[in-house]
Amino acid sequence: MIIDELKKIKDDAVGELEKVENLKDINEIKVRVFGKSGLLTALSKGIKELPIDQRPLVGAKINDVRIFLQEKISEKEFFLEKQELENKLANEKIDITEPGKDVIVGALHPINDVIDKLTDICVSMGFSVVEGPEIESDYYNFEAMNIPKNHPSRDMQDTFFITDEILLRSQTSAVQAREMEKRKPPFKIVCPGKTYRNDSDATHSPIFNQLEGLVVDENVSMADLKSMLTILMKRLFGEDTAIRFRPSFFPFTEPSIEVDVSCPNCHGKGCSTCKGTGMLELLGAGIVNPKVLEMSGINSKKYKGFAFGFGLDRTAMILDSINNIKNLYRNDIRFLSQFK
Ligand code: PHE
């Protein structure tokens, strides 16, 4: 009886081993045959029921089968391991002669590039970067900047009004009053962003970009403004850049200046970029009008400020030799991909 069972166990196991295709299934066979409650173990337990003289013989036979099956299993395991490794190697094969896949990397828009460069320089000088809304109230865009309703200086900027009180901001100066109301001096902020005016030719676009800067502290002077702007320009356009300050007028600064830099294209000799003048006008600036400080709740006896407004489109056009401002807003991939 035991001998018949033993034969069956052996034949079954051999049959299964032939069919088995992976190491996991082999393990199952191992457990079923040799495990603690496996078939051979159960059979061995039956030996003590046999007459004494048969016991050694049957024990030896069970042992033979155990050894036989263990060998078969090892052979099969060896074969399957080898096969698995070969499969793995075949699947992971890399053809190093195949041409690589193109990785398409985008480019920063020239305006964003200028914003990054300028804000980096300003942050290194201790400025914080802030933002403000593009749809703005008449109050922040004009009144808080000392430009009352019907004041002639409103004509300096041809503004897009949405209602009598709401407009598309015509200058990032609108953010000045917002920040002055929020902050306690001393503070230094820059605000890059889009601005809008009804103006359109090769150097003017109805949408354009400015970067506003504002410093409020005790004892701020025109000398601080001039030295800060000189450093800013030299870092942006190069150490050999010449800077010219001209008197000007803005209702929110007193005194006011306009700032020109030597044309980075011809270094002041005169070319088409600077229309033969050798200089380029890039920003308006000045000492914050005390009226503006007071309107936003800052004590103008104690605190002074300086502010500047940078034309970013102009700057991008100079740095990247772009001749028509409209190219900055057409989103033509052929144009934009040049700036990689
Ligand atoms: N807001 C002014 C403009 O758009 C520029 C400016 C900013 C001038 C800050 C002085 C101070 O023309």
Regarding the beta carbon of 311 and ligand 1, being less than 6 Å apart is answered no
CA angle 184, 189, 193 (to 5 degrees): 130
Centre of ligand 1 to C-alpha 211, Å, is 9
d(C-alpha 65, C-alpha 51), whole Å: 21
Closest CA to 188 of 282, 316, 303: 303
pLDDT, position 187: 97
What pLDDT is recorded for position 4?
A: 86
Per-residue confidence (pLDDT) for residue 274, from 0 to 100 = 83
Within 200-321, where are the H helices?
222-237, 290-295, 312-319
Per-residue pLDDT tens digits of the chain, which is 340 residues long: 788 888 888 888 888 888 988 888 888 888 888 888 888 888 888 888 888 888 888 888 888 888 888 998 898 889 989 988 988 888 888 888 988 888 888 889 999 999 999 999 999 999 999 999 999 999 999 999 999 998 887 877 899 999 999 999 999 999 999 999 999 999 999 999 999 999 988 888 999 999 999 999 999 999 999 999 999 999 999 999 999 999 999 999 999 999 999 988 888 888 887 889 999 999 999 999 999 999 999 999 999 999 999 999 989 998 888 888 999 999 999 999 898 8
Cα 141 to the chain's mean position, in Å?
31
Domain boundaries, the chain: 2-91, 110-339
Q: Does the reported pTM lie above 0.85?
A: no
- For residue 186, cis peptide bond before it (omega within 30 degrees of 0): yes
Buried b (16+ CB within 10 A) or exposed e, 168-202: bbbbbbbbbbbbbeebebebbbbbbbebbbeeeee
Structure confidence at residue 162 (pLDDT): 96
Give me ligand 1 centre to Cα 218, in Å: 22
Q: Relative to the CA of 311, which ligand 1 atom is closest?
A: 4
Ligand 1: which of 171, 197, 199 to mutate, most ligand atoms within 8 Å of CB? 171
| Residue 311 exposure: Cα atoms within 13 Å on the Cβ side | 20
| CA separation for the pair 309, 132 (Å, rounded) | 14
- Tell me which of 167, 179, 210 to substitute to probe ligand 1's pocket, judged by most ligand atoms within 8 Å of the beta carbon: 210
Phi, psi dihedrals of residue 237, rounded to the nearest 5°: -105, -10
Q: What is the pLDDT of residue 36?
A: 87
Query: What pLDDT score was predicted for residue 211?
Result: 97
Tokens 């808080």 -> residue: 144
Which homologous superfamily is 110-339 in? Bira Bifunctional Protein; Domain 2 (3.30.930.10)
**Ligand 1 centroid distance, CA of 173 (Å):** 6
Instruction: Determine whether the shortest distance from the Cβ of 208 to ligand 1 is under 6 A.
Output: no
